[in-house]
Chains A and B, each alone.
Chain A
Amino acid sequence: MKMELVLQHRGKTCQYSGIALKDFYMPVVNNIESDFQIEPAIWFKSLIIKTIQIDCDLRNVFWERKSQLGGSSSPGGSVSPRVVFEDDRLEECELFNAVIDLIHKRDKKNCSVDDVSREILRILHLHVLPLVLLKDEDLTCLKDALDDVEHRITYMNNLTIDKDKQLMESEKNLREYRENLLRTENFESYSNVKHCTDKFLMELLDDVNREIRILTDRLITFQSCVDMTRNSVANESKLHLKEWRKKRDEVNSSILKLQCIRESIKNVTTRTKKRKKVKILHNEKHDTYVTLKENLRADKSAMQSMFEGKVKITSVREAIIQACNDLKASGESTGYDVPKCGERLSTDILGNSPKPKKWLTLNERIQNILSDKSTESAQTYTTFCASTVKKIRNFLSQKALIDRKRSENVPFFMEMIDFSLPSQQMEKQKATGNPYENVSTELNAESPEKGFTNMIKEEVMQHIYDQCQSLVQLLSKQKSFNKKANCTTINLNNVWVFYELQLYQHLIEPLSDLFENIYKNEAKEMASFVTSTALKDIGVQEQWLLDDEEDREHHIESVCMRNSSNKCFEKNVAIVALRNGRTLTLSELCESDEELNDFFGSPTVGCDSYLSPDLHQKDFKCTKACGQQAFKYVCNELEHMTRSKSIMGKLKSITKANRMVSECASSLKSKGCELSDDNALSADDMLASTTCALTKVDTKVFEKLYAHVHLVNDFIPPFMMGSLQDWSLTNFFCAFQNISCNLESTRSQN
């Protein structure tokens, strides 16, 4: 059940085996545990992972699942490696830096084997395991792991019960043994006690003290019973009073006796200075008592560990159950539903597992700085967020006012707010004539909207850059982190990524509103053009993409039908038109697999956003074949992109969507160009396919997407230029531009 880690750097390969979740709750590397308590929930993945490979040269991470026992997980029984991540310009840089540091230290023999093991634990816990994405094909393996965990829990339960019985028996024996000792020997006598060993006396004193506490509680209880019965007027109470008094007096005399013993022990152990001169006599009974106590203490400690283990293993079980549920619902899961790098994960059931400072990730360190209001960075951050949000909100409300006035044909000067760039202002000053004439509803370089967005963009980018510079300085001064390694590389780009995450928590919503608002007219026009025009008139001329033109015509009809009766698509009463001519409500559709297939075979994806998660799951299953149907996956991802709360998140979604487009196009082209000499997927094909994918997006999502692609395009971090993410974004950006060009040309022809 052990996992292997392969690290590669500059052609060297280091392999570490012996990574496991010992007893299903204790992460270990070569039997070395972490030197503090860590939440093991995320380590459930180690139960199904065979190998993790981190390549620092190619900057990618792969994982391979263990093959299932008694069955093959994929055709041929082999399990192929899967990517954890492949690009080095995102936040995962921290991982590669840590791995390179580790390899260097190991090569220079700067650290012990234990330290290497603990560093591997840290790397896996913080940077790798949380990002391993499980898919529905892992479900069986996960269920097997869950069974193993459940068996272990049952075993531990039985073990705990047995141990508890043993413990109770031992305690009972010890008590009897002690009572016997106190009966047979006179511990109230100083002369007797002074010959006992210190160890025995301390153990006895400990027990006597505890016994006194218990008896005192009992005395209080009996005394209150005496008081109650004494005040009662009933005749029966007199009899009871006698009994209660007797019990109280017995307890009292026991306490007095024990107190005498305690005092004499204290006199011997702590109050007598001449104790050294007294001859200590070893007594076998006393030694046995000490041994019994030591055994009991060890048993109690083992019991405590067993309880902690049970809590931890339950945490692992909950994590597996959650992952299984996620897989059933959405087909994929990272194992928990909060972003990584948090100190506490949603699967933590041990409470907040505190991490030592040296385990804090760069993201957490930046979070800490920004939450410490005394730092200049935090103050600048808070002020900037507040002022930018305010600026955007003000602009939007003034624009709404202007739009309203304009619709009412009331002259209204845009100069009431002038957010244009200084260069534009100068040009404006030079211009003569009525400035109102220059105001255009089109978004162009001269429009106030563009001026404002440019200003905001420049302010945000400059702010991020300045803040990152000062954060780099602050972080590099944190000795506690830098001490860990002899030198620490703090990369401006990494800081940028994490600072951005914090910043856009506040800014993404107003920025989205701003971009959706200023691009809404263009977006609406394009969406209307796309839904009412044949693919070839949108600029898609590839025959292998046009093969579903018939379907698309059906889609256009569906959209027309939807536009004419919007009520049809209200939640739960949506009516879908099938190619066989039938119409069904969504609930009827869900009940019929045959009709469902027909529905997903048809391109009425405009109603995707109205589907329930269950239906999406069915969609997932019936579109696995790829091809035109699989474009629906792209649509889902693009919709997800518009909802993502950070620029980096949006970039990741758009990259994923682009990859899906590439896969769909490849599949379609292979099918459609069997006789062709050239069926390698070119950049031309990618553009056409991306354009085609956009035509399948729901109208509302299309409009949002257009604005969000602009948003990401404007706010993409400079160091991402040229990357896979940038290329994916450019593809979508150009696909929109392609549609726009064709819209213009259609308009000019008309």
Chain B
Amino acid sequence: EQPTVCSCRDYDGYLNPSDPTMITADDRKKLVEWCYHFVDHCQLSQQTVASAIDMVDRFLFTTSISNSSADNAVKVVSDEILRDQNKLQLLSITALYVAIKVNERVVVSSDRLAEMCRRVHTTGEIEEMERILLSGLSWKCHAPTAHQVGLSILSLVEPYVDIPEETWE
């Protein structure tokens, strides 16, 4: 509803870094795939992954640019993540944790998520990252995703054309 509020401004620098110590698009892709694997395993909606990755991107984009009102602690964390695959994984898992809370009917505990990543991250770390993620996003965890826009367009078109239900998801 408010596209400007949820938009990211520093698209160019992100995931196309000239600096070799920065995370790459490949690192991000691996995590997206891990998330899809996880939701398939738990029989959750793919929309949840779209929502989680949207949060990851927005968190890293919006806080990577210097913003006077942005909380310093959040900025420090997001700068760290941009140089640390391990921390990027923690952020992605946390975003998935939040997206499940927002989108799904079932509850997936932080312990379950910690277990799924072979306890590389503890439940305490996930819950702490949740707070940082939420405040970094100013609690805007309901942003529309491309996935939803696609579904929304399909639902408008649907009465006029014959689309098999299977192709929707």
Question: Do A and B interact with each other, yes or no?
Answer: no
B residues neighboring A (CB under 8 Å): none
